Structure 1
Amino acid sequence: MKKIHICDLNSFDCKPSEIINFKETDLQFIFDGKLINSDLVAVTGMIKDGVFATINLKNNNEVNFYGEFPLNPSGIDPYILSDINTGGIRISPCKKYLIYSTTKFGYICCYKINNNQLEKIWEHWITEPQYSVSNGKIYLKSDNILGFMDVAIDDDNVYAIYHGKKMNALRSQNAEESPETIMKFSLKNGEPMAKYTTDVPITRIAINPDGEIYCIAKPMEYNLVKVNID
């Protein structure tokens, strides 16, 4: 990815209102980007110096790296570490917090955003990765437990889809090997608040401005479903 196209959701015009170009940065392999504010973008990808980076658009595209790799055996090439620690980033609606979570094992953490600088304020290991190292590479074992598939945030809480199944379930089409757990954390301090089990497997999660939670249900031809957690 080298560009972000920003479009107005209230307009039927397909032309973007703004285009952010990353060609001038030193980051060659950007997979995802999230706009923090008009000055700052957070990106993930094959990044050797951290789990994600920020790009300051108003300061000559200055790049800062954040986070040590959660899974970090010694002697491994940083790009291999970046791949094994692959995950997602989400920005809170208030633009004051960033959540990073890993897919291949159960790790989630939160950074507070202040004056375009980020500070990690909490983290959780849900499952420890099961792996071996051979010839400078990391191999996740078949009994390794998968981590977080997607995250949604409101002004107070983090809702994360936790896979919780063994490694071979990552690309399985079987419903019984699909994620069906939502974990709820306090956004401000990371306190675990609740754990929900859905009656259908789910793959993606989102919250609307009214606080209603929606998911993509895997066995229902990827239909959108509303989740009632009361």
Structure 2
Amino acid sequence: MKYCLTFLFLLAIFTGCTSDLPKDRMLYVSFPKEETLHSKVIQLDSVYMRYPFRVHVSGDQAVVLDLHGTDVYCHLFHYPDFHYLSSFGRRGDSPEEMLSVETVKCIDGSFWTLDANKGELTRFEFVSDRDSLLRAEAISFDKDSILRALDFVAFNDTTFLIPDYSGDSRFCWVNRQGKFLKKSGVIPSLNEEALKEARPALAQAWRSFIDYNPHNGVLVAATQLGEVLEIYNLQNDFHRVCLGPKGEPEFKLAGGYAIPDGIMGFSDVQVTDEAIYAVFHGHTFKEIMAQHQKEGRATDGGQYIYVFNLQGEPLCKYTLDRYITGFHVDERNKTITATDVNNDQPIVEFRFG
């Protein structure tokens, strides 16, 4: 009887909170299905990477972003055997070199990199007879309108979407020449004080990783802090904000900047034709600092992959046997290729379903 009353009490709290939320918001507290996935290490003998942050697969090729690469940032491999092919994105300050690479994406057979420090997108094409990638196109953003781009997606052949870190909106739209077109959306925070007084800091705290699937029109933003997924269907104007148990990103304001607080949230997201997959961390910053002080370093990455349908309803929670930062989901072959920055052999594969 005691357990029944406790459950009813918690249910009343949950439904009461839900009724106070705007109509475009949804709370999730659990997943109807949970599984544990075990990894297989992919041996790499030819390339050393300091911080393999992202992996993307396109056809029979896979590209890995080494976020802290000493000489080059990106490495191309044959997929699925990960035979090394070439490296690109040379680090440096000359016109054709890169100060940084925040992300790399495979779009229509080309590989695109984003340099936040230069405010530039660069497209590389693979030349098969030379087993190398050539710089084919560079797009410099209008710096008066775009404030430090940290991620991007291609909406179509002529338009890109970039998270807006000014706090005025959620996304900036730019054309193939880098010219600003428009802004859309708002930061879906219920923190009215921050929305009114500290929008730039709020935008920093709401930094999100984004992905877009042109086949179904679904755009998703997953917050780096807290536990929030924003889902937009650009084909039918559907919009939903999904909040997990950890809620909105937490931060402290210092000198106009957002100092992260609360938890590390998501670190990568992928929209497939059928579902939304996201890597989730969930560690508090206090836990991260305590582990660092005790062991000299903290384990980096998330141990969970959350799966939602295209409307944001939870489907499955995968618990991994290691921590990952980036991933690529192959639904047809039921495999997940991921990066583990904590190990010398950083490329791993999971099988699911």
Superposition TM-score, scaled by structure 1 size:
0.81
What is the Cα deviation at residue 165 of structure 1? Answer: 1.1
- Report the structure, 1 or 2, having the larger helix content: 2
Query: RMSD value over aligned CA atoms?
Result: 3.0
Deviations 1:81-126 (A, max 9, x none): 1111111111125261111011111101111123xxx835222111
Task: Answer whether contact 2:205 2:251 (CA < 8 A) is retained.
Answer: no
Alignment partner of 1:191 is 2:319: no
1:106 corresponds, among 207, 227, 235, to 227
* Larger displacement relative to structure 2 (123-132 or 73-82): 123-132
The count of residues paired between Structure 1 and Structure 2 equals: 223
Task: Answer whether contact 2:172 2:180 (CA < 8 A) is retained.
Answer: no
**Relative contact order, higher structure (CA 8 A, sep 6+):** 2
**1:95/1:47 CA distance change after superposition, 3 Å:** farther
Alignment partner of 1:124 is 2:242: yes
**1:60/1:207 CA distance change after superposition, 3 Å:** same
Which whole-Å CA distance do the structure 2 matches of 1:48 and 1:103 have between them?
Answer: 16
Partner residue of 1:83? Answer: 204
Partner residue of 1:8? Answer: 125
Counterpart amino acid of residue 38 in structure 1: D
Partner residue of 1:27? Answer: 146
2:161 corresponds, among 42, 49, 60, to 42
Task: Answer whether contact 1:53 1:66 (CA < 8 A) is retained.
Answer: no
SS at 2:203 equivalent: helix
SS at 1:50 equivalent: coil
**1:73/1:137 CA distance change after superposition, 3 Å:** farther
Select the structure of larger CA radius of gyration.
2
What is the Cα deviation at residue 216 of structure 1? Answer: 0.9
**1:191/1:14 CA distance change after superposition, 3 Å:** same
Which whole-Å CA distance do the structure 2 matches of 1:93 and 1:227 have between them?
Answer: 26
> Unaligned 5+ residue runs, structure 1?
none
1:63 corresponds, among 182, 202, 206, to 182
> Unaligned 5+ residue runs, structure 2?
1-115
What is the Cα deviation at residue 159 of structure 1? Answer: 1.0
Counterpart amino acid of residue 193 in structure 1: L
